Structure 1
């Protein structure tokens, strides 16, 4: 059951955890609201857990262009 972190904007894989057992509280999942969990965590048909995050490139773009925060997707 790999945990795959992907950028919510560009889809780039940011990282992957391949451990069989993971303490989700160490990953900070217990700090997320129910709404954030629904928005950020998805369980894929192949058994992977996908976490939507933001990569450094998209974070830099948002920092340079703050009006992008108004858009659901800013990468075309």
Structure 2
């Protein structure tokens, strides 16, 4: 199983973890609400997990332009 972290805004691959068995509490998934898990975690047919997070560049852009939080997508 591979856990792949992707930016929810630009789609950039941020990193990945390849592990056969992993404790989700080590990754902090147990701290997420059910709604957050549904929005952030996608399970792929091959067993991979895609986790939607925010990369440093998009986080910086949101910091400089707070009104971008109102938009579903701020990159064109």
Question: Which TM-score band applies after superposition, normalised by the shorter structure?
Answer: over 0.9
Shift of 1:46: 2.4
Unaligned runs of 5+ in 2: none
Unaligned runs of 5+ in 1: none
Matched with 1:6 is: 6
**TM-score relative to the length of structure 1:** 0.97
CA deviations over 1:27-76 (Å, ceiling 9, x no partner):
11001000000000000122210000000000000000000000011011
Which runs of at least 4 in structure 1 moved beyond 2 Å after TM superposition?
none
Matched with 1:60 is: 60
Equivalent pairs counted in the alignment come to: 76
Matched with 2:16 is: 16
